[in-house]
Homo-oligomer: A and B are copies of this chain.
C-alpha cells in the first residue's frame, strides 16, 4: 500500500469511518472494520489516532462541518417569501431523503455522545452547528424577502431544527417520505405566518411568549 503523510492518512480514515458507520451503524464502526474499509492494516489507526474515541470525534466533527457547508450551499436567489421558503424546505428535504445512512448515523452519534463521557462535546457541537446554520438560513430569508420575525430569530432556528429532527426520525422509522415532506411543508407555511415586514422589526425590546403574535407578556 502506498505511503501517505499522517495528516492525509487521517482524513482517509475519517472518510472510511464515515462510510462504515453510515452503512452499518456506529456499533459496526470498529477499529478493524474501519482499517479494512480504508485498506490499511490494523496498526495504522492507532498510529494516526491516539484513541478510537479520537477518531470518532474527528468523524463527528467532519459530519458537522460538511453539514454546515452543505446547508449554506443551496442559494435560492432573491424572491418573495413564498418562493424562498418553499425552495428552502424543498432543498432541505431533498438533501435529507437522499442520505438515509448519514442521517441515521447523526442520531446514533447524538445518543452515543450523551452516554459516553469521552464523546460529550460531540452532541453539543453538532447542535450548535445546526442551530447556527438554521439562523443563517433565516438571515438569508430575511434579506431576500425583506422581512423579520415575530419572535427572536434564535427561537425560530431552534424550532426549525426540532421540526426537522422530528420528521426525519419519523421518516427513518416508517419510510413514508410523503408524510415527512408534507409535514415539513406545513411547517414552512407556519413559518410564513411568523414573518413581519422588515421595517417594523429592528427595535422591539421584549419577545416573551413563543408563537403568540398577540404578546402575552403581562
Q: Which residues of A contact B (CB under 8 A)?
A: 24-25, 27-28, 104, 107-108, 110-111, 114-116, 123-124, 126-127, 151, 155, 158-159, 161-167, 169-170, 172-174, 179, 182-183, 185-190, 209-212
Main secondary structure of the interface of A (DSSP, over half): helix
> Contacts of A107 on B, CB cut-off 8 Å?
107, 110-111
B211 touches A114 (CB 8 A): no
Chain copies in the assembly? 2
A158 touches B173 (CB 8 A): no
State A123–B179 Cα separation when bound (angstroms).
17
A-B contact pairs, 23 of them (CB 8 A): A25-B115, A27-B27, A27-B115, A104-B115, A107-B111, A110-B169, A110-B173, A114-B172, A126-B173, A155-B179, A158-B167, A161-B170, A162-B169, A163-B166, A165-B166, A166-B166, A185-B209, A185-B210, A186-B209, A186-B211, A186-B212, A188-B211, A189-B209
Smallest Cβ distance from A110 to chain B, in angstroms?
A: 7
A111 touches B115 (CB 8 A): no
> Contacts of A116 on B, CB cut-off 8 Å?
25
Contact A155/B182 with A115-B24, A190-B211, A212-B189 known, Cβ cut-off 8 Å = yes
Smallest Cβ distance from A62 to chain B, in angstroms?
A: 19
Smallest Cβ distance from A181 to chain B, in angstroms?
A: 10
A183 touches B169 (CB 8 A): no
Known interface pairs A27-B27, A104-B114, A189-B212; 4 further A-B residue pairs with C-beta atoms within 8 A, sorted by A's residue number: A25-B111, A127-B174, A165-B170, A189-B209
